[in-house]
Structure 1
Amino acid sequence: MVRLCAGLAAFVVLLSAAPASASAPQRFQRFDTMPVFRNSSAAEHTAAEIAAATADGGLVVYTDSPARRIGFAKTAKAGKAGKALTPDGVLPMPGEPTSVDVVGGLALVAVNTSESHAEPSGVLVVVDLGRRAVVATHDLGGQPDSIDISKDGRYAAVAIENERDEDVAEGEIPQAPAGFLTIVDLVGRGPAAWQLRRVELTGLAQVAPTDPEPEYVSINGRDEVAVTLQENNHIAVVDLRSGRVVKHFSAGAATVAGVDTEDDGRISPTGTITAAREPDAVAWLDDRTLATADEGDHRGGSRTWTIFDAASGEVVRSSGNELDQIAIKQGQYPDGRSDNKGVEPEGLAVATFGRDRYAFVGLERANLVAVYDVNDPRKPRFLQALPTGAGPEGLLPIPATGTLVVSAEEDSAQDGLRSSLSGYRLTRKPLAVSLARNQGTPSIVSDGIGFGALSGLSGIPGNHRDVVSVTDAAYTPTRILTVDTLAAPARVREELTLTKAGEPVGYDGEGIAARRGGGYWIAAEGDGKQKPNLLVEVAADGAVVREVALPESVAKTATGNGFEGVTVLGGGRSEQVWLAVQREWKADTAGRAALARYTPATGEWAFAAYPLDAARPGTWIGLSEITAVDDRTVLVLERDNQRGDAAEVKKVYRVDLGGVTPVPASVVKPLVEKELAKDLLPELRAGGATAHDKPEGLAVIGDGRFKRLVGVVDNDGLDDAPGESVFLRLGRL
Structure 2
Amino acid sequence: MKNYGLTVLAAICLLSSCTKNESIEDAILEQLIDENPASFKEIGSITIGAEGAAEISAYDAVSKKLFTVNNSDTNGIDVVDLSDPSNPKWIAKIDLTPFNGASNSVATYQGKLAVALEATSSKQDLGKVVVFDTANYSVIKEITVGALPDMVTFSPDGKWIMTANEGEPNSDYSVDPEGTVSIIDVANNYAVTTLNFSNFSSQLTTLKAGGFKISSPTNDFAKDIEPEYITIAADSKTAWVTLQENNGVAKVDLLAKKITAIFPLGYKDFSLAENAIDISDKDDQIVFNPWNVKGMFMPDAISSFEVNNVAYFVTANEGDAREYDNYVDVSRIGSSSVILDPVKFPNALALKDNAKMGRLNIVNKMGDTDGDGDIDELVSFGGRSFSIWNGTTGKMVFDSKNELDKKAHDFGTYDDKRSDDKGAEPEAVVVAKMGSKSILFVGLERTDNCMVYDVTNPNAPKYLQTLKTGDAPEGLLFIPASQSPNKRSLVVVSSEGDGTIKIYQPDRN
TM-score by structure 1 length? 0.50
1:160 and 2:172 equivalent? no
- Given candidates 276, 292, 296, the residue that maps to 1:258 is 276
Distance 2:120 2:257 in 1: 26
Give 1:346 deviation, angstroms: 1.1
Q: Could you give the per-residue CA deviations for residues 60-84 of structure 1, whole angstroms, max 9, x where no partner exists?
A: 111112421011112246xxxx622
Distance 1:109 1:316 in 2: 34
Which residue does the alignment assign to 2:48?
36
Distance 2:81 2:434 in 1: 20
Contact 1:295–1:303 under 8 Å retained in 2: yes
Which residue does the alignment assign to 1:461?
none
- Given candidates 294, 297, 307, the residue that maps to 1:274 is 294
Distance 1:337 1:288 in 2: 34
Which residue does the alignment assign to 2:506?
426
Correspondence list, 1:405-554, <5 A? 405-410=492-497, 418-428=498-508
The 1:24/1:30 distance shift into structure 2, 3 A limit, reads closer
**AA at the equivalent of 1:201:** F
Which residue does the alignment assign to 1:442?
none
1:290 and 2:309 equivalent? no
Which residue does the alignment assign to 1:305?
386
Distance 1:101 1:25 in 2: 25
1:315 and 2:328 equivalent? no
Q: Could you give the per-residue CA deviations for residues 63-106 of structure 1, whole angstroms, max 9, x where no partner exists?
A: 112421011112246xxxx6222112111113211011111111
Correspondence list, 1:45-124, <5 A? 47-55=53-61, 58-66=64-72, 67-76=74-83, 83-93=86-96, 94=99, 95-117=101-123, 119-124=124-129
User: Which structure has the greater CA radius of gyration?
Assistant: 1
Secondary structure of 1:336's counterpart equals helix
Which residue does the alignment assign to 1:331?
412
Give 1:313 deviation, angstroms: 1.4
Secondary structure of 2:408's counterpart equals helix
Which residue does the alignment assign to 2:450?
369
The 1:175/1:253 distance shift into structure 2, 3 A limit, reads farther
Which residue does the alignment assign to 1:228?
242
Distance 1:310 1:383 in 2: 24
- Given candidates 229, 236, 240, the residue that maps to 1:216 is 229
Which residue does the alignment assign to 1:636?
none
Give 1:23 deviation, angstroms: 8.7
Distance 1:258 1:46 in 2: 33
Contact 1:112–1:143 under 8 Å retained in 2: yes
Give 1:141 deviation, angstroms: 3.7
The 1:46/1:309 distance shift into structure 2, 3 A limit, reads closer
Which residue does the alignment assign to 2:193?
197
- Given candidates 364, 368, 383, the residue that maps to 2:464 is 383
1:352 and 2:352 equivalent? no
Aligned residues: CA RMSD: 2.2
Contact 2:146–2:194 under 8 Å retained in 1: no
Segments of 5+ residues of structure 2 without an aligned counterpart are 1-32, 202-206, 215-220, 322-362, 364-380
Give 1:254 deviation, angstroms: 0.7
Contact 1:157–1:225 under 8 Å retained in 2: no
Distance 2:197 2:466 in 1: 36
1:133 and 2:138 equivalent? yes
Secondary structure of 2:147's counterpart equals coil
Secondary structure of 1:248's counterpart equals strand
Correspondence list, 1:584-599, <5 A? none
Contact 2:63–2:135 under 8 Å retained in 1: no
Distance 2:143 2:36 in 1: 48
Distance 1:253 1:147 in 2: 28
Contact 2:234–2:305 under 8 Å retained in 1: no
1:248 and 2:248 equivalent? no
Give 1:232 deviation, angstroms: 0.9
Q: Could you give the per-residue CA deviations for residues 660-689 of structure 1, whole angstroms, max 9, x where no partner exists?
A: xxxxxxxxxxxxxxxxxxxxxxxxxxxxxx
Secondary structure of 1:303's counterpart equals coil
Give 1:25 deviation, angstroms: 6.0
Secondary structure of 1:83's counterpart equals coil
Higher strand share: 1
Segments of 5+ residues of structure 1 without an aligned counterpart are 1-20, 38-43, 411-417, 430-733
Distance 2:446 2:232 in 1: 27
TM-score by structure 2 length? 0.71
Distance 2:108 2:473 in 1: 21
The 1:140/1:224 distance shift into structure 2, 3 A limit, reads same
Distance 1:217 1:24 in 2: 28
Percent of pairs with identical residues: 31
The 1:24/1:125 distance shift into structure 2, 3 A limit, reads closer
Distance 1:115 1:53 in 2: 30
Which residue does the alignment assign to 2:360?
none
Give 1:56 deviation, angstroms: 5.5
Contact 1:69–1:90 under 8 Å retained in 2: yes
The 1:339/1:196 distance shift into structure 2, 3 A limit, reads same
Contact 2:248–2:265 under 8 Å retained in 1: yes
Distance 1:367 1:284 in 2: 23
Secondary structure of 1:49's counterpart equals coil
Q: Could you give the per-residue CA deviations for residues 589-617 of structure 1, whole angstroms, max 9, x where no partner exists?
A: xxxxxxxxxxxxxxxxxxxxxxxxxxxxx
Which residue does the alignment assign to 1:582?
none
Give 1:247 deviation, angstroms: 2.6
Distance 2:47 2:415 in 1: 23
Secondary structure of 1:48's counterpart equals coil
Distance 1:427 1:23 in 2: 6
Distance 1:25 1:292 in 2: 20
Q: Which has the higher contact order (CA 8 A, sep 6+)?
A: 2
Distance 2:262 2:37 in 1: 37
Secondary structure of 1:326's counterpart equals helix
Secondary structure of 1:379's counterpart equals coil
Secondary structure of 1:329's counterpart equals helix
The 1:267/1:397 distance shift into structure 2, 3 A limit, reads same
Correspondence list, 1:647-658, <5 A? none
**AA at the equivalent of 1:84:** N
Give 1:54 deviation, angstroms: 1.2
Q: Could you give the per-residue CA deviations for residues 274-325 of structure 1, whole angstroms, max 9, x where no partner exists?
A: 2111111111022611111010011421101111112111110111000001
